[in-house]
Each structure stands twice: as structure tokens, then as C-alpha cells.
């Protein structure tokens, strides 16, 4: 628990009830190992019919959550901003500690000998944490496009994916994006730009958000963005409502990724890589436990 009070503030009964509801929702997700963005929390309120799905409701909830956190009524660890992070070097207290850390972080490249190389791409940076959790567990790379991906990021991706193809692997990008005029167009954009840059043997496979998933999970709708240049075609095909990826439960997003990867992965090759990884980790643990003997051996041989 990480509740800290920075301001003294009184809230109306209706606001206190909303704060209580937010606590219940976030604690439920924290129990399963998830933190939420404000947008994800908002969609939990909408899907529970606690608030209307409007921009005004979103802003009012955001203001209330911010004040409640500052007043010590909400846990700071349960809500996150995945678009702003601090990056810096890692440090170790000793060589032995560095090896122990390396044991924990060491991973074989379990996809090196797979017939197909997989990456997971998501439209929104705010969902990178959720996507990254599943991708890391499956030992695959993930990438947040932040809308239409930049030319620089597409160029780097094309070079990277072409190396896999040159090594004899098929490449599949599992893509997750909004169900709206631009979100449904991004699959095409990614495919065409990768082809333009010389990576023309890549499959972009949308695994969310699809029309079938909208029907099945029934996420709260938004008005289709009529200012989008693709709105007319979208509305003609799907109607005047759109749906955001954020509205799906984090566990659902993870499950969609896991199921898609399971269809592609050669499990026998994957298990072999896991066994090699375990063997090498055991050797590293032995080195860590016998560090003084290793140093004496090396110094004696100098």
C-alpha cells in the first residue's frame, strides 16, 4: 500500500463514493498483479454503468482521482502513467551480486531456431505495460506505435525483420489497435510501409480489436470520429460508433496474445531452449556461490 497525504481536502459524499468505487476497482486489479492507466480505470467505470462515456466524464474523473491521490485516499501504486518514465543505469554492490542479478535476468533467445519469428505491436503507448507483460513472459519483442508509427521506427523495424527473413524465418506481427477509422487502417499502413522498405514477406495479423470481439466483450462505444478522413468509409461499414482497445480488460489482452502465440510457436523447440536456459542459469549460480574460488583460480593462473 502506498497512500501518502500531500494536501488537506474535503470531498462531497458523492465524490467520496466515487473514490471508494475507484479503490475497489484498482484493488481488484492489483490483486491480480495489474496497475491501471487513468483511461483504463475510466472504462471500468463506464462498463459498470457508473458514469457516462463522455469527454466531460473522463475529465471529471481524472480531476477527482488526482485530488484523491494527493489527499491520501488512493494508492499511488495502483495507477500508472506509462507514457512517462525515468531511465538510467543499473548498479550492483559487488561482482557476486552482479552475477546473481544476471541469473535472474538471463534468457536464452527461445525464438532463435523457431520457424516463425513473432513480434507484438500495439497502437497506444499507454497499453505498452499490459502488452509488455504478456510479451516478456512469452519471450517476444513488443513495440508501441503511438498511432501511425514514425518513419524512423518503421525503417528500424524493416531492417530488423528483414534479418529474420534472411535467416530463414517467417515473420508475423501480432497487432492490437482501436476499432475506429484510423485504428482499423493501421494494419494496412504497417504492411505497405514495411513492403516499401524491402520487408515484403511479413504478415500483419490483427488480434484486437476486431468486430467479433466488440460483439463478444461489448466494450463501451464512442462516437466515430467524423473529423477523421477515413470516417465515411468506416461509418458505412460499421455504423457511427467506435471502440477503444483500452476498454478491454488487461487479462483479456494478455489472453489474446498468449492464444495467438500458441498457434504459431513450435513447442518442442521452445521447451528445448527453456532447458538450455535452466542449465546455464545453474552454472551461473555456481559461479556466484564460489566467486572467491573463481577469483583465486584466475589470479593464480595470471
pLDDT confidence of residue 247? 92
pLDDT confidence of residue 86? 62
* Alpha-carbon 63 to chain mean position: 25
pLDDT confidence of residue 175? 98
Give the sign of the dihedral formed by CA 163, CA 166, CA 171, CA 175: positive
pLDDT per 10-residue tile (average), the chain, 302 residues:
88 95 93 89 90 92 94 92 70 80 86 96 91 94 94 93 95 97 94 89 95 96 85 93 94 97 97 95 89 86 56
Among the listed residues 201, 286, 186, the one whose alpha carbon sits nearest the alpha carbon of residue 234: 186
Cα–Cα distance for residue pair 56/64, rounded to 1 Å:
12
Are 123 and 145 spatial neighbours (Cβ–Cβ below 8 Å)? yes
pLDDT confidence of residue 1? 65
Find out whether the peptide bond into 246 is cis, omega within 30 degrees of 0: no
Does the predicted model carry a pTM greater than 0.85?
no
How far is the CA of 28 from the CAs of 23, 25, 35, 149, 219, in angstroms?
8, 5, 10, 34, 19
Which residue is associated with the grid cell 549460480?
285
pLDDT confidence of residue 300? 80
Amino acid at each position: 500500500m502506498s497512500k501518502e497525504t500531500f494536501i488537506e481536502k474535503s470531498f462531497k459524499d458523492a465524490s467520496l463514493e466515487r473514490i471508494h468505487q475507484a479503490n475497489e476497482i484498482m484493488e481488484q486489479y492489483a490483486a491480480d498483479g495489474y496497475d491501471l492507466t487513468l483511461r483504463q480505470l475510466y472504462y471500468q467505470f463506464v462498463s459498470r454503468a457508473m458514469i457516462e462515456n463522455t469527454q466531460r466524464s473522463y475529465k471529471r474523473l481524472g480531476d477527482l482521482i488526482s485530488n484523491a491521490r494527493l489527499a491520501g485516499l488512493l494508492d499511488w501504486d495502483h495507477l500508472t502513467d506509462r507514457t512517462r518514465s525515468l531511465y538510467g543505469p543499473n548498479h550492483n554492490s559487488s561482482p557476486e551480486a552482479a552475477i546473481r542479478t544476471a541469473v535472474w535476468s538471463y534468457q536464452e533467445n527461445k525464438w532463435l531456431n523457431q520457424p516463425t519469428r513473432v513480434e507484438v505491436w500495439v497502437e497506444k503507448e499507454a497499453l505498452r505495460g499490459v502488452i509488455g507483460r504478456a510479451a516478456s513472459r512469452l519471450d517476444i519483442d513488443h513495440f508501441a506505435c503511438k498511432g501511425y508509427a514514425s518513419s524512423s521506427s518503421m525503417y528500424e523495424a524493416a531492417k530488423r525483420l528483414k534479418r529474420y527473413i534472411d535467416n530463414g524465418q517467417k515473420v508475423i506481427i501480432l497487432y492490437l489497435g482501436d476499432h475506429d477509422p484510423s485504428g482499423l487502417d493501421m494494419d494496412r499502413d504497417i504492411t505497405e510501409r514495411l513492403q516499401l522498405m524491402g520487408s515484403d514477406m511479413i504478415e500483419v495479423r490483427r488480434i484486437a480489436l476486431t468486430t467479433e470481439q466488440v460483439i463478444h466483450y461489448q466494450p463501451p462505444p464512442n462516437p466515430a470520429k467524423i473529423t477523421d478522413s477515413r470516417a465515411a468509409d468506416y461509418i458505412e461499414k460499421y455504423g457511427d460508433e467506435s471502440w477503444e482497445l483500452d476498454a478491454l480488460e488487461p487479462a483479456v489482452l494478455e489472453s489474446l496474445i498468449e492464444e495467438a502465440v500458441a498457434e504459431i510457436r513450435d513447442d518442442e523447440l521452445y521447451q528445448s531452449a527453456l532447458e538450455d536456459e535452466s542449465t546455464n542459469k545453474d552454472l551461473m549460480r555456481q559461479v556466484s556461490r564460489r566467486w572467491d574460488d573463481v577469483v583465486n583460480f584466475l589470479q593464480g593462473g595470471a
